[in-house]
Amino acid sequence: MDNLKGRMQNFMLNDEEMGKKDDDFSAHHGRGGHHHPRGPGWRPSRVTPTRRSTKRFFILLLVTVGVYLLFSNMPKSDWRDKRHPMYRDKTYSPGQGPPGGWNYIPPRQKGEMDRAKANAESEKKGGHHAEPALGVDAYEGLVEHPNLMTTLHTVKSGRGTNKNVLFAVSSLQSAANVLPLACRMGKEMKNDVHFALMAHSEIDIREVMKMNGVNEKCRVLFHDARIDHPTTSTEKRLKVGVQDALVSMNIYIRPQVIIVDGSATEESHFLEGVHWQAGELDTEVIELPRNPGSSVGWITKLDSLSLAAWNKVNIDILVSASSGTTGSLIRLLKSLAAADYSGVPMPHLTVELPPDLGPATEQFISKFQWPPKRYSTTHTRSQMTLRKRISPRGIGEDEANVRFMESFYPIHPAFHHVLVLSPQVEVEKHYFQYVRYTAFEYRHSLTAILQKWDSRLSGIALDVPATQVDGTTTFSAPKSQTPRTRGQETEFLWQAPVSHAILFVGEKWAELHGLVEQSLTAQRDPSHVAGLLEKKDVSKEWPGWMEYVLRLNRLRGYWMLFPSPASAKALVTVHTEKAMLPEEYARGYEDEKPVSDQWEEETKSQEPLTVTMPGAEQLLPVNDMPVLSWDGDAVGEDEIEKRAREFRAMWRKSVGGCGEGEGEERTRDRFAKDLFCSSKGKTGSDASTSSGDGVGPEDSSGSGADEAGT
């Protein structure tokens, strides 16, 4: 202990003082360390602080201040449940809003208010922001966010599951572009909506809200995420400020998605900072187009789970042109190029060309650009794949079916879907927005997953046929049976497929691929007895692959979503003046008149997408839609499942080589292997292994990457 005390004394003294220590000690202390009284002539000497002592003092002061700042800015812990985001005020509920109201912003000091008011006036007159500072006056100090923690502290930690969606802007022009959508999303009450201002302007955030018509009805929590010295900071400092703000917000609200203005009005340093930090945080970023309300306004109807899949969901377009339809193909491609793809990932386009391609079509194809010029830059790669067949005319049904199935395979079946279009179709302006909207709502939303819509949905049709699949029975779309819209046209669910315009869900396409493969193998087995595989429920006026889609829907109890007749008119136009039989059934009918009695040609609609949506722009819940069996009977979902069980039993016995009751307890396989028992229902190495494990090959989802042309 004495040694420790001595070392501490030595630490606090300099060399000069150490030299005096022994003299003083000898004068006043004995050998044993006893204290001796001071002599009568003793006087205290005046000691001047040395330079080294002063240095130690300032170092100690800096350390003390640093420790204080560190602990004063640490996030405060909260003893309450952190699994769901909530406000600290115990009286808060989604219907009431956070403490102080949804638009509550803590009051600023008078000096700040005067400066912000002057800023607002100058920006109103000039119409532009000041550029990031440059030169000797630029500020490059440590980044701080003086106002951000005030509002973040009102929100509980965002760890775990939450419904937080963050809108963020830097440019005030972008705020005018984004704020209306944020308020509309808040009104839907599906998400907890936040808005962060990261501008390099000192304008009061209340002024921003006022200029954009934000009132107390806007259910959005606002955050002032600007850094200190915003008007004099360098672009690099502003970018770092954006990244630091997102890190802090991720601690408290952990947004499922960040929505920004992707148009030219937004600041480049802001977008760079958002994308870089979002990548580090593994958070999706959605870039809105200019005037987003007119194109992707439906985004406000989606929940946070589906929004988080925004950039993961890919949709390919597949067009298969047969001989004699090249003129119709040009019309379809022109309509595809003229459609609206604002704010959404561009689809990959695959076009299958017939062997006898005319010179006019060849010239058009050589000049056709995909993506269209307005959605591409000099560095944009082509997203179109052309395949030209060399087979002579007169291919058989099996060959046609195999060729169709091999034209696409999903890279990631859960997020990769395909839209099949016939050359007889002409798409309308908003068709792709509808496809994305319905796919997110009925396949990727939280409601769809909880209520198992995603497991029953095999496709989304864009048109409503005039006949049933037999080609002769007239079909009339069912009316709504809900009290609010009874008797009106509505969306509906039907087990029957169509071929002119339909989106296939990636998982169901992969399952269909397996069903076709194993069915053909079973059909070629010498022990096969003619039965279900030879029975045709679909007319030969339709492509042969529709028979397999119908079989899969009946075997699994799947259904397809159809729009109301009014919505279908605003999505596609089916031209019947040159309708032809499918190539696999056209042999011997070359001189017959084209088939034209299946479809009714409609006048093109120029209505915005949301005008034709039922329920005031809101898609209907599946539970409110009529359900039809494959032959047009109005049934319930329980009846659909009952009929599916009966058809599966027949299939396993007739096609799958199963004994009585065999295979009923098997786990559903994602490649339909559970529908086959004997080796005639298996292929390759699968013939020697059990198919009842319900798990397909691990690499199967990636095996079709080349087939998809991606």
Tens of pLDDT, residue by residue over 548-568, are 999 999 999 999 999 999 999
pLDDT value at residue 583: 81
Closest listed residue to residue 221, CA positions, set 94, 78, 82: 94
Reported as type and span, the H/E element at residue 675 is none
Whether 83 and 161 have beta carbons less than 8 Å apart is answered as yes
- Token couple for 313: 């969901």
* Residue 685 pLDDT class (50, 70, 90 cuts): very low
pLDDT in tens, 328-346: 899 999 999 999 999 999 9
**CB-neighbour burial class of residue 662 (10 A; exposed 0-12, middle 13-18, buried 19+):** middle
pLDDT value at residue 139: 84
pLDDT of 351 above 70: yes
Whether 542 and 499 have beta carbons less than 8 Å apart is answered as yes
pLDDT value at residue 2: 56
Residues pairing with 314 in the sheet:
416
pLDDT value at residue 89: 38
Name the H helices within 406-459. 431-439, 446-450, 453-456
pLDDT of 587 above 80: no
pLDDT value at residue 195: 97
pLDDT of 656 above 50: yes
| Percentage of the chain exceeding pLDDT 90 | 53
Domain with CATH 3.90.550.10 in the chain: 314-691
pLDDT in tens, 365-417: 999 999 999 887 766 788 999 999 887 666 788 999 999 999 999 999 999 99
How far apart, in whole angstroms, are the C-alpha atoms of residue 541 and residue 105?
Answer: 65
C-alpha distance from residue 702 to each of 31, 162, 398, 409 (Å): 88, 31, 25, 8
Peptide bond into 371 cis (omega under 30): yes
pLDDT value at residue 680: 47
Whether 510 and 673 have beta carbons less than 8 Å apart is answered as no
pLDDT of 57 above 90: no
Residue type, 551: R
Q: Specify the DSSP class assigned to residue 474.
A: B
pLDDT value at residue 588: 54
* Residue 79 pLDDT class (50, 70, 90 cuts): very low
pLDDT value at residue 672: 94
Three-state SS for 458? strand
Distance of CA 636 to the CA centre of its chain: 32
Residue type, 246: L
pLDDT of 539 above 60: yes
Q: What is the mean pLDDT of residues 79-100?
A: 39
What radius of gyration, in Å, describes the C-alpha atoms of the chain? 35
Residues pairing with 164 in the sheet:
192
pLDDT value at residue 53: 73
**CB-neighbour burial class of residue 276 (10 A; exposed 0-12, middle 13-18, buried 19+):** middle
Buried b (16+ CB within 10 A) or exposed e, 226-239: bbbbbbebbbebbb
Report how far apart the first and last C-alpha atoms of the chain are (Å, whole number): 75
Q: Say which range, 50-59, 72-81, 215-224, 348-357, has the weakest mean pLDDT.
A: 72-81
Buried b (16+ CB within 10 A) or exposed e, 291-316: ebeebbbbbbbbbbbbbbbbeebbbb
Roughly what angle, to the nearest 10 degrees, separates helices 397-405 and 545-556?
70
pLDDT value at residue 23: 47
* Residue 664 pLDDT class (50, 70, 90 cuts): confident
- Token couple for 383: 């997203």
Q: Say which range, 47-61, 141-155, 437-451, has the weakest mean pLDDT.
A: 47-61
pLDDT of 647 above 60: yes
Architecture of domain 110-307: 3-Layer(aba) Sandwich (3.40)
pLDDT value at residue 358: 83
pLDDT value at residue 65: 76
Domain with CATH 3.40.50.620 in the chain: 110-307
How far apart, in whole angstroms, are the C-alpha atoms of residue 504 and residue 434?
Answer: 14
| Percentage of the chain exceeding pLDDT 70 | 72
pLDDT value at residue 384: 95
Three-state SS for 599? coil
Roughly what angle, to the nearest 10 degrees, separates helices 545-556 and 637-654?
110
Q: Specify the DSSP class assigned to residue 674.
A: G
Residues pairing with 627 in the sheet:
493
Write the CATH number of the domain with boundaries 314-691. Answer: 3.90.550.10
pLDDT value at residue 48: 56
How far apart, in whole angstroms, are the C-alpha atoms of residue 438 and residue 431?
Answer: 11
Closest listed residue to residue 610, CA positions, set 152, 257, 294: 294
pLDDT in tens, 434-489: 999 999 999 999 999 999 999 999 999 999 999 999 999 999 999 988 888 888 89
- Tallying the residues shown for the chain, one arrives at 710
pLDDT value at residue 270: 96
Q: DSSP secondary structure string, 88-127?
A: SSTT--TTT-STT-TT--PPPPHHHHHHHHHHHHHHHHH-
How far apart, in whole angstroms, are the C-alpha atoms of residue 172 and residue 176?
Answer: 7
Whether 502 and 459 have beta carbons less than 8 Å apart is answered as yes
Q: What is the mean pLDDT of residues 669-686?
A: 69
How far apart, in whole angstroms, are the C-alpha atoms of residue 103 and residue 179?
Answer: 13
pLDDT value at residue 527: 76
Q: What is the mean pLDDT of residues 501-517?
A: 97
Name residue, tokens 């202990």: 1
pLDDT in tens, 265-311: 999 999 999 999 999 999 999 999 998 988 899 999 999 999 999 99
pLDDT value at residue 396: 85
Peptide bond into 582 cis (omega under 30): no
pLDDT of 78 above 90: no
What's the mean per-residue pLDDT of the chain?
Answer: 79
Q: What is the mean pLDDT of residues 586-606?
A: 46
Reported as type and span, the H/E element at residue 574 is strand 572-574
pLDDT value at residue 440: 97
